Every structure is written in structure tokens, then in C-alpha cells.
Amino acid sequence: MSWILAFLGFASLVILHEAGHFFAAKAVGMRVERFALFFPPLVYKIRRGETEYGIGAIPLGGYVKITGMNPAEEIPPEHAHRAYYRQPVWKRIVVIAAGPFVNIVLAFVILAGVFMSQGTVEPPPVVGKIDAGSPAASTLKQGDVVLAVDGKPLTGNYTAQLDQVQKAVGAHKGTPVSMTVRRNGTEQTVSGKTFYDKVNKRYRFGFAYDPDASSRSAGPLRASHLAVEEMWTVTSSTVSHIAQIFVPEKRKELGSVVGGYEQTRQAFSISASTALVILAFISLSLGVINLFPFLPLDGGHIFWALAEKVRGRAIPFSIMERAGFIGFALVIALFLVGFTNDLDRLANGGFRLR
């Protein structure tokens, strides 16, 4: 079931992105020839008015075909006045920016909604369920507040502290790990051996967390503020990783649609809210990356439209064509790097959302 839900989630992001372009084009009077989910060849299509709606056979995206997007195409005289490149610059920018705008707004709405419905989980983490027969069963108790691992105090937000514990436990590879916890108001240090969990494919101590014990409610204002903060963190991280693609450590952290899909699938098997947060991050990344200023991305079309405005006359199509070739090569390179990284992660234990 998680596979189907993940597929539907991804399809929804594509549909909403393209719907942004579609409705904006209709609103400013451009002629939309086709609205397609996925890429050709089309396996299903139906015409309503002047627009053909279809579903492609290659599930890697979608597109809206607007008359005159290619300045060199032949356009029937009766449609020439509605062609893309016959429109003022502001109309073109509105149409192109609408897709990423929808993705960014969608990410905000999802994150704010999750924060409002579930509140936030604040550090420090609290011990929840303990695996029977595990090393943790003889040392930890439900309700213990985890303060430090191997003598190092936990720092950062809730997620960062969970990562610190997981990395510290994983580094022991079967040797004892010590944890400082607060139990009944008193701090104490416990220790025990780690063990290899064949199901999760990593070393563990044998306990889970109780997020409810660390939760804090969030009203509309706080939820909106938290959503913006989270979006800024994801955006800056996304831009930073792509800008540092030639740094090996940063390059290894890039991902592709394959990794995003697998993480979404795993998230649905954990909880609907976890999956929604993952989809919000993917939607945000889709919006941000699409605004990068090179063709064939949306940001490339916006860049050349602004260049035309500054220049005062149309940019020769030959120049945009050459720029588009370079941009396409960059997009493919980013995809291949992310794709190979995802394959490596899948071959070496997966994404470990649990």
C-alpha cells in the first residue's frame, strides 16, 4: 500500500505544479494545447475545448504545452496573438513562476498544517518502547530523558539529537555505549553493548523514543513561523549542496526522484504525518530547484524574460538554444549524481527513516 500512496503523492506534486502553469496561462489569455501528467508517449488522452489532457507512459514528471513556447514554431494566424512569445514579459513570468510558486506554497501549507495538528517535538528525547531482551531492557526505563551519549551532551533540535544518538550507537559496532539520562529528577549514567539489527540494517541499543512526551502544541502563528523556519533550512541546504557539487562530501548527499520516492514510501509505512512532511520537503525542493536560472528549468525562462526586459528587445533564439543545451547538460549531471547516490544508499541499507 505504501508504494501506491507514495506514487499518488508524487503524482499530486507534479499535477499541482503543472496546474500552476496551466491556470496562470489561461488567466492571462495564452493558448494551452496540452496538459499532461508524465512524459510521452501518451497512453490516454481526451480533448476538452482547445486543450488536450493526457497521461504519459514515462512517470518522470509532466508538462503543459503552450502555443508559441518555441519561437521558431509555426503558429496558425488565428492563434498568433495568444502565443507565449507574443505576450508581454510580465505575463510570461507569471505563467512560468506559477508552477514553482504552487510547490512552495504547498510545502508551507503542509508543514504548517502538520505543526498545528500535531504540535512540535522538542528536545531532549524521551525513552519510549524498549525491546524485550535487548541491552537497553536491563539499563533504561520508559520515561528516561536522554541527555548525553558517551559523555557528550546532546545539542541542537530534536531531530539533530536523535541523529547524534544513532551515530554514537552505530560507531560502537557491538561494543558498550554509555548514556546519561535523567530519571525521576536524578541524572545517572547507564551502559550496555550495542547489537546489529538485521531488519533495520544498523547497530542499535534496543529502544525507541516517545515523541508524545516531548511534544508542544502550536497555534496558527507559531505553526506558520515554524513552517517558514523549516522551509528556510531545507532551501539553504538544497542550494548549498548543489553549489558545492564539486566537494565530495556534499556531492554524496545529493539525491534524486528515486530516493525521494523511496523515502516517501517508507514514511507512509511509519505514519501519514511523516509522509506529508517528506512530501512537503520534496515539493519545496522541486519549487526551489526549478527556479535555478538556466534552461530548461522554469528559472531559466524567467531569467531570459527579464534579460529581454532589460535589453528592450527579444533575445535571439539561437542564444537561448545554446544556453538551453548547457542548462540541460547541468540538469542531467545533477540527476545522474543524485541517482547514483540513491542507488548506493539502497544497496547499503536504504534510507533508514525508522
Tens of pLDDT, residues 323-340: 888 888 888 888 787 778
pLDDT confidence tier of residue 350, bands split at 50, 70 and 90: low
Q: Which of 143-147, 265-269, 307-311 has the lowest mean pLDDT?
A: 265-269
User: What is the pLDDT averaged over residues 211-235?
Assistant: 89
| The pLDDT of residue 351 is above 70 | no
pLDDT of residue 159: 84
Q: Is the pTM of this model over 0.85?
A: no
Superfamily of domain 121-216: PDZ domain (2.30.42.10)
- Per the model's pLDDT, the better-predicted residue between 264 and 190 turns out to be 190
- Per the model's pLDDT, the better-predicted residue between 208 and 260 turns out to be 208
pLDDT tens track for 23-74: 999 999 999 999 998 888 889 999 999 999 999 988 777 899 999 887 778 8
pLDDT tens track for 97-133: 999 999 999 999 999 999 998 888 888 999 999 998 8
If you write DSSP's letter for every residue of 206-232 in order, what string do you get?
SEEE-GGGGEE---HHHHHHHHHHHHH
Give a three-class secondary structure readout of 150-212.
Answer: CCEECCCCHHHHHHHHHHHHHHHCCCEEEEEEEECCEEEEEEEECEEECCCCEEECCEEECHH
pLDDT of residue 267: 67
pLDDT of residue 339: 74
Q: What are phi and psi of 174, to 5 degrees?
A: 100, -10
Q: Which long-range contacts (CB under 8 A, 24 or more apart) does 4-7 make?
A: 5/264, 5/265, 5/268, 5/275, 6/261, 6/262, 6/264, 6/265, 6/268, 6/275, 7/59, 7/261
Contacts of 120 (CB under 8 A, 6+ apart): 158, 215, 216, 218, 226
C-alpha cell at 180: 546519561
C-alpha cell at 151: 559523555
Instruction: Compute the distance between CA of residue 70 and CA of residue 84 in angstroms, rounded to an integer.
Output: 8
pLDDT of residue 258: 63
User: What is the pLDDT averaged over residues 305-319?
Assistant: 88
pLDDT confidence tier of residue 213, bands split at 50, 70 and 90: confident
Contact assessment for residue 224 and residue 305, using Cβ atoms and an 8 Å cutoff: no
pLDDT tens track for 255-280: 666 667 567 667 666 678 888 888 99
Q: Which of 25-34, 150-159, 237-246 has the lowest mean pLDDT?
A: 237-246
User: What is the pLDDT averaged over residues 167-188?
Assistant: 91
User: What is the pLDDT averaged over residues 155-168?
Assistant: 89
Domain with CATH 2.30.42.10 in the chain: 121-216
pLDDT of residue 165: 92
